[in-house]
Amino acid sequence: MKLEALEVLKNRRAIRAYKPDQVTEEELNAVLEAGTFAPTGGGTQGVQIVAVQSPENVAAVDALNAKVLNKPDAHPYYGAPTIILVFETEACFTHELDGAAVCTNMLNAAYAVGLGSCWIHRCKQMFELPEGKALLKKWGLPETLVGVASIALGYADCEHPAAKPRKNDYIVKV
């Protein structure tokens, strides 16, 4: 499935229920590649994208987010079979914004290829905890990475949500 760009930007919605089936490599790669083409301040590409797919790692990341949420029994990634983590790689004052741009590109790309996705918060706090640092070490990544954002990714197991009406004063033309 391929949708026109503006249709994708308007119709993408946060998906909060997922089928257990894993996404295909082709779908995942399309989403990740779209992330790498996001704008970054000064073109520095100071962002690290980590695709988490092994059930063990997905469960660890889900539990870590639930811990930060202070709801240890919660599943903040809604059972999605893939989690994408976005990190800043070094101290630079645009990198958090760069990570947000990368994340947004991936959410829209996910919808364009027929996947559901949802931006999930608390990535910064997750990877400040010893458990988060331990995961980075296990994955062979620098423990200095700073979490910016994360994404639940998979096949939607719900009706496509409707967008809320846009607020009247969203745009001012001067």
Ligand X SMILES: Cc1cc2nc3c(=O)[nH]c(=O)nc-3n(C[C@H](O)[C@H](O)[C@H](O)COP(=O)(O)O)c2cc1C
Number of residues that make up the chain: 174
**In the complex, minimum distance from the CB of residue 16 to ligand X, in angstroms, rounded to a whole number:** 6
Q: Please list the alpha-helical segments (H only) found in 13-78.
A: 25-36, 55-68
64 touches ligand X (CB under 6 A): no
Single out the residue of 14, 129, 134, 158 in contact with ligand X (rule: CB under 6 A).
14
Tell me how far, at minimum, the Cβ of 163 lies from ligand X, in Å: 6
Residue 16 found at the interface with ligand X (CB under 6 A): yes
List 30, 119, 125, 133, residue binding ligand X (CB under 6 A): 119
Give the count of residues interacting with ligand X (CB under 6 A).
9
Q: Which residues of 29-47 are buried (b: 16+ CB within 10 A; e: fewer)?
A: ebbbebbeebebeeeeebb
Contact indicator for 82, 59 with CB cutoff of 8 Å:
no
118: contact with ligand X by CB under 6 A: yes
Q: How many CB atoms lie within 10 A of CB 162?
A: 8
Residues near ligand X (CB under 6 A) are 13-14, 16, 118-121, 161, 163
